[in-house]
Structures are given as C-alpha cells and as structure tokens.
C-alpha cells in the first residue's frame, strides 16, 4: 500500500470502528465498572500534567505579550490575549497533545498487547465483541473526561497568566485589571467553541489509538511500534484538524 492508500485505509478503519462502537451504546450501563475505571485512569492520571503545563503556558503567553507591548502601553490587554488564546486554541490543543501522549499511548499499548497475545481473538471466539467490551468504555470515558480536562486547562492557563502579570516587576498588572480585561472580551460561545474543539480532538485520538492497537500483530516489538505510530498519527491529526476546525468555527 502506498502512503495515501494507507492513510485512507486508516481513516476508513476509524470511521468503521466509530459506527461499530456507537451501535453498542445501549449496552453501556452493563459496563459501568469498566467505564468508571477508564474515567479514573484517564481523568485523574492526566489532570496534574494538564494543570502544570497549562499554568506555564498561560504564564509564558503573558510574558511574551507583555514583552511586545509594554512599551506602547497595551499591557491591560494581557488578560484578553491570554484568556482568548487559552480558550480558543491552547487549552484544547495542548490538552489533546497530552491526552495523546498519556492516554492514547496507554490505550494502544493495552489493546496491542491483548491483540498480540490472542486475548482479542479469545473474546471473538466467545462471541464477545471487542468493540463493545474494549472500545466502547474507552471512547465514552474520554468523551466524558475531555471537557473537564479542557476546562481545567483553560482556568489554570488564565491563573498562570495572571500570576506572571502580577509578579513580574516590569509588567506589574493588578489581578482586577487582568481579569476585567479577560472577561470583557470573552463570551460563553468562545468557551463552547474551545470545548467542541477538544471533543473533536478526543474522538479522533481515541479512535486512532484503538484502531492502531487492534491492528497490531507480531510480537512485543510491534506493540512498541504501534504505540509510537498511534502518538505520531494523533499529533498530526490534532494539528491538521485544528486548522480546519478553527476555519469552520470562525
């Protein structure tokens, strides 16, 4: 297969897996334990990373904007810039990148290992659909967890920007001025757009990770290769789809 055929084959496999999984949604209550486990694993384990990274992204953003504008008296707009940048772009994108590295890789590794060691075949021989048993709880869990992670990322990014604006001597912007500037320019629709972006990234990440895991074959080396492939494809998907989603939203 040439690279284009491979890419189209991968997209087709993700779309197919999505519909195969959605078909089993009514059976979700039977898997509430597995769903809860996945939510805990995905949310609880990823939250500290998201918070730390977003805090510093907000801080750096404030520093960069202040450096460029402090001489021309535009430092009051730091709140607007940090607020909108976090909500519309950085929070969904950076959260998605972290989710790819932290959750996507773990999901691919687990499913690839189950595939390589015949556990997936064993499920099929027991007439248990791997799409229902393995994929459905993971897809739903990430759909539930992603908005929360994105919101945490937005808020900690704002706080990071504010702390830097207040603590750095040559910026010295009061918190009230920062938050006033932040809230005046932002609407609920902006937050909605950011969350929607995050959800579209999340569905792609989890489908790519599951497809790559379930298509693994061979031995332990292939498990590692599948993980690397899944993370790389997820990041490419995030950055390429980011442009088109942003274009469609504005």
Partner 1 sequence: MPTKTNRSVEAVSIKIENLHKSYGDTKVLHGVSFDVEPGQIFSLMGPSGSGKSVMLRQLIALEKPDEGSVLIDGLDAQDPKTRDAIRTALVFQSGALMNSMTVYDNLALYHREHRSLSERDIKAKIQSVTEALSIEAALKKIPAELSGGMRKRVAVARAIIMEPRLILYDEPTSELDPILAATTSELIATVCKETGATSLVVTHDRQLALGISNRVGLLLSGHLEFIGTPDEMRSSDDERVQEFLNPKLDLENPRFRKKENAL
Q: Which CA distances in Å does 156 have to 48, 50, 86, 99, 197? A: 11, 9, 9, 17, 18
Among residues 22 and 30, whose Cβ is nearest to partner 1?
30
Across the chain, how many H-helices and E-strands are there?
12, 0
Q: Which two tokens stand for residue 46?
A: 């990823």
Structural contact between residues 46 and 104, judged by C-beta atoms closer than 8 angstroms: no
> Rule CB under 8 A: is residue 133 a binding residue for partner 1?
yes
Minimum CB–partner distance for residue 206 and partner 1 (Å): 18
Q: Three-state DSSP class for 220?
A: helix
Q: Which of the ranges 15-23, 58-66, 116-124, 222-230 carries the binding residues for partner 1, by CB under 8 A?
A: 116-124
Among residues 66 and 141, whose Cβ is nearest to partner 1?
141
> Rule CB under 8 A: is residue 126 a binding residue for partner 1?
yes
Interface with partner 1 in residues 49-78 (CB under 8 A): none
> Rule CB under 8 A: is residue 122 a binding residue for partner 1?
yes
Contacts of 62 (CB under 8 A, 6+ apart): 78, 81, 82, 160, 161, 162, 164, 165, 171
Q: Three-state DSSP class for 37?
A: helix
> Rule CB under 8 A: is residue 5 a binding residue for partner 1?
no
Minimum CB–partner distance for residue 179 and partner 1 (Å): 46
Q: Which of the ranges 97-105, 107-115, 137-145, 215-223 carries the binding residues for partner 1, by CB under 8 A?
A: 107-115
Q: Which of 124, 143, 167, 217 binds partner 1 (CB under 8 A)?
A: 124
Structural contact between residues 175 and 228, judged by C-beta atoms closer than 8 angstroms: no
Burial status of residue 13 (CB atoms within 10 A of its CB: 0-12, 13-18, 19 or more)? middle
Minimum CB–partner distance for residue 217 and partner 1 (Å): 11
Q: Which of 15, 128, 174, 232 binds partner 1 (CB under 8 A)?
A: 128
> Rule CB under 8 A: is residue 117 a binding residue for partner 1?
yes
Rounded CA gap, 82 and 73, in Å? 17
Rounded CA gap, 240 and 250, in Å? 16
Among residues 9 and 121, whose Cβ is nearest to partner 1?
121
Q: Which of 44, 121, 184, 232 binds partner 1 (CB under 8 A)?
A: 121
Chain residues binding partner 1 by CB under 8 A are: 110, 113-114, 117-119, 121-122, 124-128, 133
């Amino acid at each position: 297969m040439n690279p284009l055929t491979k890419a189209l084959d991968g997209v087709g496999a993700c779309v197919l897996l999505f519909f195969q999984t959605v078909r089993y949604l009514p059976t979700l209550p039977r898997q509430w334990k597995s769903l809860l486990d996945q939510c805990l694993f995905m949310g609880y384990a990823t939250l500290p990373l998201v918070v730390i990274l977003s805090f510093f992204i907000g801080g750096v953003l404030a520093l960069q904007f202040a450096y460029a504008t402090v001489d021309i008296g535009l430092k009051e707009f730091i709140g607007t810039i940090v607020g909108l940048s976090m909500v519309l772009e950085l929070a969904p994108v950076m959260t998605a990148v972290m989710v790819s590295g932290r959750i996507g890789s773990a999901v691919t590794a687990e499913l690839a290992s189950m595939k390589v060691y015949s556990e997936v075949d064993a499920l099929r021989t027991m007439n248990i659909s791997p799409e229902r048993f393995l994929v459905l709880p993971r897809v739903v869990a990430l759909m539930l967890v992603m908005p929360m992670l994105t919101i945490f990322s937005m808020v900690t990014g704002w706080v990071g920007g504010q702390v830097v604006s207040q603590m750095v001597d040559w910026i010295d912007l009061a918190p009230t001025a920062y938050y006033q500037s932040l809230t005046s320019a932002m609407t609920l629709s902006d937050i909605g757009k950011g969350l929607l972006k995050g959800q579209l990234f999340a569905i792609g990440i989890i489908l790519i990770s599951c497809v790559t895991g379930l298509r693994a074959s061979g031995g332990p080396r292939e498990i590692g290769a599948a993980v690397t492939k899944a993370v790389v494809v997820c990041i490419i998907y995030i950055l390429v789809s980011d442009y088109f989603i942003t274009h469609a939203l504005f």
